[in-house]
Copies of this chain bind each other. A is one copy, B any other.
Amino acid sequence: MTHPLRIALAGLGTVGAGVIRLLDANGGLIAARAGRAIEVVAVSARSRGKDRGIDLSAYAWEDDMTALAKRPDVDVVVELVGGSDGPALTLARQALGGGKALVTANKAMIAHHGMELAALAEQHGLALKFEAAVAGGIPVIKGLGEGAAANRIERLYGILNGTCNYILTQMESTGADFGGVLKAAQDLGYAEADPTFDVEGVDAAHKLAILAALAFGTAVDFGAVDISGISRIRAADIAQADALGHVIRLVGQAEMQTVKGEHRLFQRVQPVLVAKDHPLAAVDGPTNAVVAEGNFVGRLLFQGRGAGDGPTASAVVADLIDIARGNAVPAFSLPVAMLEEAPAADPGNRLGRHYMRFTVADRPGVLAEITAAMRDAGVSIESMIQHGHPLDGLDPVLVAIVSHEGPESAVAAAMRLLEGSPSLAEPPLVMPLLG
């Protein structure tokens, strides 16, 4: 065995503490697999005194975490601070600029600054690894960038946010509305005090942008992800989906389209009606799942726990074992200069069936107005359900329409025709059907 791989840990929240516990619990096995020991040398966090249930006395402490990047006794900086910019980004730049490999669980930072950091790593011949940034403990970065590396990936989709999936499956099993389930999830620690990034789809979009770059060989383009979240989904939508043989899941989807010989990248996070016999429908609670379709391998599915200290620590230490073994893979599986800048695709010609839910005033002529808009926009209606009783005890009632397969542009046109209609109590909610 050669000398140990010496790491510095920035951030001692649940994941940071989990990494220390994992290295401690499985240290012998990890050293045997890695070919050398992996040793924590120094740590940094906001508060030194806080009780984290782990013994930090063997590690050097740095009040200023950027000092970790300057220590001559450190090979790898592990960044577990979080946040797309600020201290995490400063530390990442200083680590790679200062000759240290970087391992991070920071999806926001990689989604926003992944290209810059990958270029910096490449320039200095250092590893930049972020398995823990996407789908917790599931080795999907490795699965796409190495396991499926021989394939042109044609399509990628998955359940990338455990909080949303937990909330949706709780709504399913309890019949409760979004607000109540979110509150319960917060009380249980399954949702953050400020849940915006999770429930509005931003966290899933960070992960999707990273996976898309890796799968399609494109530059990370988080800004081009079309994002909608789950906060507008009602118990009645879940019940309606159930009656149609579907469940509702927040799904991130990416596809490479070729239009007149030019590549266009489609990236979207949105709630979707998933047919009950589709593998994603069985993904319950805080589980994540990613499906990738390669031109030789066919459909691959990776599934597991998408968050939590154990799974995330497992991914961080897998990255460290790779580094200890001396295994080098470009951060996005291709040299940065070869990552293609693909413009965003026009989603209008995507074909599919759509669920459209309207909250309407219970008065004559409303259905005629909605169906006329469908007709004028060329949307063919497969089924329509109007609930006879007011929804949630409110005056407006719910009308749900499922379209036959057709282009998204027609559905969008129908929605534009209905925009601002006094018949609608709120903007319509549109979700595609999958499977």
Q: In the complex, what residue of chain B is closest to A145 when comparing beta carbons? A: B33
Contact B325 A329 (CB under 8 A): yes
Instruction: Give Cα distance in the complex from A350 to B321, angstroms.
Output: 34
Q: Bits for A258-282, please: 1 = Cβ < 8 Å to B, else 0.
A: 0000000000000000000101001
Q: Which single member of B26, B148, B327 contacts A151 (CB below 8 Å)?
A: B26
Contacts of A152 in B (CB 8 A): 26, 29
- CB closest chain-B residue, reference A322: B146
Complex contact B335–A32 (CB within 8 A):
yes
Which residue, of A145, A308, A314, A333, has the highest number of chain B Cβ atoms within 10 A? A314
**Which residues of A275-306 are within 8 A (CB) of B?**
277, 279, 282, 294-305
A318 touches B30 (CB 8 A): no
User: B150 to A317, Cβ gap below 8 A?
Assistant: yes
Known: A143-B143, A326-B328. A298 touches B137 (CB 8 A): yes
The answer to whether A298 and B305 touch across the interface, beta carbons within 8 angstroms, is: yes
For residue A245, which residues in chain B have a CB less than 8 angstroms away from its CB? none
CB distance from A194 to the nearest CB of B (A): 27
Partner of A282, one of B25, B143, B279: B279
| Residues of chain A in range 316-356 having any CB-CB distance to chain B below 8 Å | 317-318, 320-322, 325-330, 333-335, 338
Digitize A72-91: 1 where CB-to-B-CB distance is under 8 Å, 0 elsewhere.
00000000000000000000
Which of the residues B18, B131, B299 comes within 8 Å of A304, measured between beta carbons?
A: B299
Within the assembled complex, what's the spacing in Å between the Cα atoms of A340 and B335?
39
Indicate whether A202 reaches chain B with its CB closer than 8 angstroms.
no
Contacts of A299 in B (CB 8 A): 304-305
Q: A152-B29, A303-B303, A321-B146 are in contact. Are A314 and B297 (CB under 8 A)?
A: yes
Q: Which of B295, B314, B330 contacts A148 (CB 8 A)?
A: B314
Known: A314-B148, A327-B329. A301 touches B302 (CB 8 A): yes
A25 and B294 CA atoms in complex are apart in Å by 12
Chain A count of residues within 8 A CB distance of the other chain: 61
A35 to chain B: which residues have CB within 8 Å?
A: 335
* Complex contact A302–B302 (CB within 8 A): yes
Cβ of A311 under 8 Å from chain B: yes
| Contact in complex: B146, A139 (CB < 8 Å) | yes
* Contacts A142-B143, A318-B146, A329-B325; A311 near B338 (Cβ below 8 A): no
Residues of B within 8 A of A329 (CB): 325, 327
Chain B residues with Cβ below 8 Å from A137 are 148, 294, 296-298, 300
Would you give the 0/1 interface string for A32-51, flagging 1 where the beta carbon is closer than 8 Å to chain B? 11110000000000000000
Quick one: which of B26, B217, B295 contacts A150, CB cutoff 8 A? B26
Does residue A22 face the partner (Cβ distance < 8 Å to B)? yes
Residues of chain A at the chain B interface (Cβ within 8 Å)? 18, 22, 25-26, 29-30, 32-35, 131, 137-139, 142-143, 145-152, 217, 277, 279, 282, 294-305, 308, 310-311, 313-315, 317-318, 320-322, 325-330, 333-335, 338
Q: A34-B149, A139-B143, A150-B313 are in contact. List 10 more A-B contacts (CB 8 A).
A: A25-B296, A33-B150, A33-B330, A137-B148, A142-B147, A146-B146, A150-B314, A296-B310, A297-B310, A326-B328
